C-alpha cells in the first residue's frame, strides 16, 4: 500500500524507505490535528496543507477514514456546510479535547525530536554528503 518514490534494489535504501514510511505513518494523526490548529478545514484543504507544509502525500481515499477515527475518538468534530462551490462540504475542526491532545502530542514530539537532534547532530553532514553522492 505504501510506495516510495525512489525505487532502489539496495537493501539499505529499501530499509530506510520503510523506516521513513513508518515514521510518517506514526505521525499522520498529529499532522492532521496540527493542520486544524488555526480553524476549520474541509478534506481537500487538509490534504493540501499536509502536502504543502509537511510534505505529506496521503492517498486521497484514506483521509476520511482517518478523520472519522479522530472524530469517533472525540478529537475533532464536523459539519456539512453549503459551499459557494455549489456542493456541500464537510468542515472539520478541533474539539477542546482535541486541542488538548494536540498540545500533548506536540510536547512529546518536541521533547523527542530535541533529544534525537542532539544525538544525531554529529552525523548530519555525513548523511547529507552520502545522500548527495547517491
Given the rule CB under 8 A, which residues bind another protein?
Answer: 1-6, 17, 20-21, 24-25, 28-29, 42-44, 55-62, 64-66, 68-69, 72-74, 80, 85-90
The angle formed by the CA atoms of residues 45, 47 and 49, to the nearest 5 degrees, is 70
The answer to whether residues 36 and 93 touch, using CB atoms and an 8 Å cutoff, is: yes
Q: Which is nearer to another protein, 23 or 103 (CB)?
A: 23
Q: Which is nearer to another protein, 115 or 129 (CB)?
A: 129
d(CA 103, CA 30): 10
Q: How far is the CB of 131 from another protein (least distance, A)?
A: 9
Q: How far is the CB of 48 from another protein (least distance, A)?
A: 10
Provide the 10 A C-beta neighbour count for residue 35.
Answer: 20
Amino acid at each position: 500500500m505504501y510506495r516510495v518514490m525512489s525505487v532502489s534494489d539496495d537493501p539499505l535504501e529499501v530499509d530506510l524507505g520503510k523506516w521513513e514510511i513508518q515514521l510518517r505513518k506514526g505521525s499522520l494523526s498529529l499532522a492532521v490535528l496540527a493542520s486544524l490548529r488555526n480553524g476549520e478545514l474541509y478534506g481537500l484543504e487538509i490534504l493540501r496543507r499536509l502536502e504543502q507544509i509537511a510534505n505529506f502525500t496521503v492517498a486521497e481515499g484514506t483521509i476520511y477514514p482517518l478523520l472519522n477515527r479522530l472524530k469517533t475518538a472525540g478529537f475533532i468534530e464536523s459539519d456539512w456546510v453549503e459551499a459557494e462551490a455549489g456542493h456541500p462540504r464537510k468542515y472539520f475542526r478541533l474539539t477542546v479535547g482535541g486541542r488538548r491532545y494536540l498540545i500533548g502530542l506536540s510536547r512529546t514530539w518536541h521533547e523527542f525530536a530535541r533529544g534525537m537532534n542532539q544525538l544525531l547532530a554529529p552525523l548530519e553532514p555525513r548523511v547529507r554528503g552520502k545522500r548527495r553522492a547517491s
